[in-house]
Chain A
Amino acid sequence: MSLPVHADALERFTYYGVRFFCALVLLFLIVPILIIMPLSFNAEPFFTFTEGMLKLDAEAYSLRWYQNIWDSQEWRLSIKNSLIIGSCATVLAMTLGTVAALGLSQRHMPFKGAIMGLLISPMIVPLIISAASMYFFFTKVNLAQTYLGVIMAHAVLGIPFVIITVTATLVGFDENLTKASASLGANPRYTFFKVTFPLIRPGVISGALFAFATSFDEVVVVLFIAGTEQRTIPREMWSGMREQLSPTILAVATLLIVFSTLLLLTVELLRRRSDRIRGVVE
């Protein structure tokens, strides 16, 4: 929307005022994230810009905090743990979630609303309540302080995202396609892998990425149910931030920002692809 030529002074003021205000809001959103990137290259163990950094002195910058991550046993373990737990939880959430979403989108599904509410609830209940509940229960069934326990907990937190994205993809799904496949002699399994799945794949993958991001960023449940063996990246950052702030945290943060940018771009591409497949025009 551009400013019409006949706009009066007040309209001009509002037009530019809104734009100026929005620019400030965008700065508010993005500056804090961008500012930690240069700080992670600080040669000094400070959380602030040194004089040398402001003068763009090459000596004031260093990679020592990245070296620190690489050298530290704890950080390396936590990266490994985050990847293992994240991928296992994602596979679990994705498999169970996709199958359930297929059932939920069927016309004949009874109690649809209630079941949907139940499956979405892990997203709504405050994390501290979920974490404390799981702590008591998992201790009793010997799942606390095990990889399996953390994976199951993270899977259940990721399930709402898979359900939401996959059911959204299934909304525009044409049931005649599966009927056609069946009438041509395909069995249900063949129909699923050759007809249904390729069409809902973008939704499944973006749901999986959401689930992975949830697990990759989760710390409250880990604080309650994980042992030292299962410490993840966020858990390591949490203790780093509570005890003493070292720029190593900022180096890890920078790596995570790069990682989340990649995730974001993938999800956006998938979303557009899914819209295109389903014939939704922007």
Chain B
Amino acid sequence: MSTSVPTADNMQVNDPQLKGKLKKAERFLKIRALLLVAPLVLFVLFTFVFPLTEMLYRSIHNPILVDNMPQAAALIREWGQVELPGEDIFSEVGKALVIAREQKTIGRIGNRLNSEHSGMRSLTTKSARKLGKYTGDDYKTYMLGLDKRWGEMETWSAFKVLSSEYTMTHYLAAFDMQYNAKGEIVPQPEDRQIYIDMLLKTLKLSLMVTVFCVILGYPLAYLLSVLPSSKSNLLMILVLLPFWTSLLVRTSAWIVMLQSKGVVNSLLLYLGIISEPLDMMYNQIGTVVAMTHILLPFLILPTYSVMKSISPVYMHAARSLGATPAHAFIKVYFPQSLPGLSAGAILVFILSIGYYITPALVGGRTGQMISNLIAYHMQTSLNWGLGAALAGSLLIVVLVLYGIYNRLVGASQLKLG
């Protein structure tokens, strides 16, 4: 249709006046279309995009020392990390700590320094108290006498890392790395390496959920697409009802099913298959089973709608040309159903990688995923920078997958039931 409609560019007009008029009319239509979309775009920018950008900014923004001790921060930025700082830096830091104590910001500064190098909180608060009474002008000797940690490179490296307004430390920490005393990037000590493991576990659990969804969903989508519509409509209700049922309802249903005195264990005990209740809840099994149940419709629906459009004549032709059923299926049917299957699988993977509610409720200690860790840093530990860096990393993974999904099916083709 669009090719048959004349536009200013494709029309063979020699009359420049007419061309101009047409351009003007088109511009008017463009502006009208934009005006229709504008309110919603502004609303989404205000309530969603802007907050998201601001949160991600926290993952690199690092204003604590620049705001609270600007002169000291400026001097430390120039420090070469080869030998201990000189008297100028010692005196600026010493004076700044005293001011920070008076302004009651010393706690926040100490906490932030402590996340770079443990022990810094007690060192700064203790020194600030004593420095308040110091009246001399040889800060270096005095501070070295106060606490021998002022003579360690690690202490000053912590200051150095935080002295710039922008930092990569949160992203380094999100990937189990840190700056050492010389300012080089090194792995965290082994007992503090948890984030890569968490990321790998999240990927592993999401992959398991996706694989289970494919195994369970593909045959069902196939059956639904070949049954006569009177039967398939009825069975479709059984797929759509869970899809529409509240997430928390389905999660509580799985607690009822899988807990140690739950339905599944009671049934297995009654049948004599097991002699002791199995541990299926508050671990990875609980998370994977409940998430597979919750996300299965997201795989079935797109697969079904693609399979519905596959004409049966191809399979008949393959069979009549002598292919075995298995051969015909692999060579003829499966490739045609692949677009729907891969779209569904990617969708399930995208949704499961960012899952929060179900792991939090049924995952126990071992079934937690990266989202739960983000929530922990946002709500409990209040290490917002690290939380934001983890969120940023998760977001990049999700956006890459969404890009692939978009390539495969196109965002506008997203099917909802």
CB-contacts of B250-299 with A (<8 A): 250-257, 259, 261-263, 266, 293, 296-297
How close is A263's CB to chain B, nearest CB, in angstroms?
A: 6
Which of these binds chain A: B129-137, B184-192, B387-395? B387-395
Our pick among A35, A116, A132, A210 for the contact of B374 (Cβ within 8 Å) is A132
**Cα-based distance from A11 to B319 in the complex (angstroms):** 12
Shortest distance from the beta carbon of A219 to any chain B beta carbon, whole Å: 6
Contacting residues, chain A, for B394 (C-beta < 8 A): 126, 129
Shortest C-beta distance, B66 to chain A (Å), equals 20
B242 touches A125 (CB 8 A): no
Contact B29 A108 (CB under 8 A): yes
Q: Which residues of B contact A125 (CB under 8 A)?
A: 52, 354, 395, 398
B222 within 8 A of A: yes
Majority-rule SS of A interface residues: helix
Q: Which of B351-390 contact A (CB under 8 A)?
A: 353-357, 361, 371, 374-375, 378-379, 384, 387-388
Within 8 Å of chain B (Cβ to Cβ): is A282?
A: yes
Q: In the docked arrangement, what's the CA distance between A209 and B11, Å?
A: 44
Q: With a 10 A CB-CB cut-off, give which of B226, B252, B254, B325 has the most chain A CB atoms.
A: B252
Q: Could you mark each residue 22-47 of chain B with 1 if its beta carbon is under 8 Å from any beta carbon of chain A, else 0?
A: 00001001101111110111011001
Interface flags, A89-120, vs B, CB<8A=1, else 0: 00000001101101110111110000111111
Nearest B residue to A14 by beta-carbon distance?
B325
Determine if B39 and A99 form an interchain contact, defined as CB atoms under 8 angstroms apart: yes
Question: CB-nearest residue of chain B relative to A140?
Answer: B54
Is the C-beta of A197 less than 8 angstroms from some C-beta in chain B? no
CB-based contact A97/B245 at 8 Å: no
Q: Which of B82-90, B173-181, B334-342, B408-416 contacts the other chain?
A: B408-416
Q: Is A180 an interface residue (CB 8 A)?
A: no
- Which interface class (under 10, 10 to 19, 20 to 34, 35 or more) fits B? 35 or more
When distances are taken between beta carbons in the complex, the residues of chain A under 8 Å from B235 are 26
Let me know if A21 and B266 touch, CB within 8 A. no
User: Are B325 and A132 within 8 A (Cβ)?
Assistant: no
Is the CB of A18 closer than 8 A to any CB of chain B? yes
Contacts of B237 in A (CB 8 A): 264, 268
Q: Closest chain B residue to A247 by CB distance?
A: B256
B248 within 8 A of A: yes
**Contact at B263–A48, with CB atoms within 8 Å?**
yes
* Bound-state Cα–Cα, A99 to B394, Å: 33
B145 contacts chain A at the CB level, 8 A cutoff:
no
CB-defined contacts of A249 to chain B, threshold 8 Å: 252
Q: Are B2 and A35 in contact (CB under 8 A)?
A: no
| Residue in A47, A104, A241 whose beta carbon sits within 8 Å of that of B262 in the complex | A47
In whole Å, how far is A257's beta carbon from the nearest beta carbon of chain B?
A: 6
The verdict on A153 contacting chain B, using a C-beta distance below 8 Å, is: yes
A35-64 at interface with B (beta carbon < 8 Å):
35-36, 39, 46-49
Whether the Cβ atoms of A26 and B238 lie closer than 8 Å is yes
In the complex the two chains form, is B51's CB within 8 Å of A124's CB?
A: no
Pair B261/A47 contact, Cβ less than 8 Å: yes
Residues of B within 8 A of A267 (CB): 244, 417
- Of the candidates A21, A116, A238, the one whose C-beta lies within 8 Å of that of B411 is A116
CB distance from B402 to the nearest CB of A (A): 5
For window 65-98 of A, CB contacts with B under 8 Å fall at 96-97
B353 partner residues in chain A, CB cutoff 8 A: 126
**Cβ contact within 8 Å between B378 and A96:** no
Q: Chain A nearest CB: distance from B51 CB in Å?
A: 3
B153 interface residue per 8 A CB criterion: no
What separation, in Å, do the CA atoms of A224 and B374 have in the docked complex? 12
A164 CB to nearest B CB, Å: 5
Cβ of B306 < 8 Å from any Cβ of A?
no
- In the complex, A28 has a CB within 8 A of chain B: yes
Residues of A within 8 A of B357 (CB): 219-220, 238
Given A26-B238, A132-B374, A260-B245, are A119 and B44 also a contact pair (CB < 8 Å)? Answer: yes
Give complex CA distance A96, B296 in Å: 31
> What separation, in Å, do the CA atoms of A111 and B48 have in the docked complex?
20
Evaluate contact between A263 and B55: CB separation under 8 angstroms: no
Query: Cβ of B254 and Cβ of A32 under 8 Å apart?
Result: yes
Taking a contact as CB atoms closer than 8 A, the residue among B34, B219, B312, B399 that contacts A110 in the complex is B34
Q: Which residue of A lies closest to B26 (CB)?
A: A108
Q: With both chains docked as a complex, state the minimum distance between the C-beta of B253 and any C-beta of chain A, in angstroms.
A: 4
Of A108, A138, A219, A268, the most chain B CB neighbours within 10 A belong to: A108
Q: How far does the alpha carbon of A200 sit from the alpha carbon of B268 in the complex, in Å?
A: 52
Known: A25-B216, A250-B256, A261-B241. A32 touches B414 (CB 8 A): no
Indicate which residue in A96, A216, A241, A263 contacts B252 across the interface (CB closer than 8 Å): A241
Note all chain B residues with C-beta closer than 8 A to A96. 39-40, 43
Residues of A within 8 A of B253 (CB): 32-33, 35-36, 253
Q: B172 within 8 Å of A by Cβ? A: no
Task: State whether the Cβ of A204 lies closer than 8 Å to any Cβ in chain B.
Answer: no
A237 within 8 A of B: yes
* A135 contacts B378, C-beta separation under 8 Å: yes
The reply to whether B256 and A39 form a contact with Cβ atoms under 8 Å apart is yes
Tell yes or no: A182 within 8 A of B by CB. no
- Are A133 and B414 in contact, CB atoms less than 8 angstroms apart? no
A-B residue pairs in contact (CB < 8 Å), sample of 25: A10-B325, A11-B325, A14-B325, A35-B253, A35-B263, A36-B252, A36-B253, A48-B256, A48-B261, A100-B36, A103-B32, A103-B33, A106-B29, A124-B399, A125-B398, A129-B395, A155-B47, A159-B44, A164-B414, A210-B416, A224-B379, A249-B252, A256-B249, A257-B241, A267-B417
A-B contact sample (11 more), CB < 8 A, given A30-B242, A120-B411, A261-B241: A18-B219, A33-B242, A36-B249, A47-B261, A137-B50, A156-B43, A156-B47, A216-B246, A220-B356, A253-B252, A264-B243
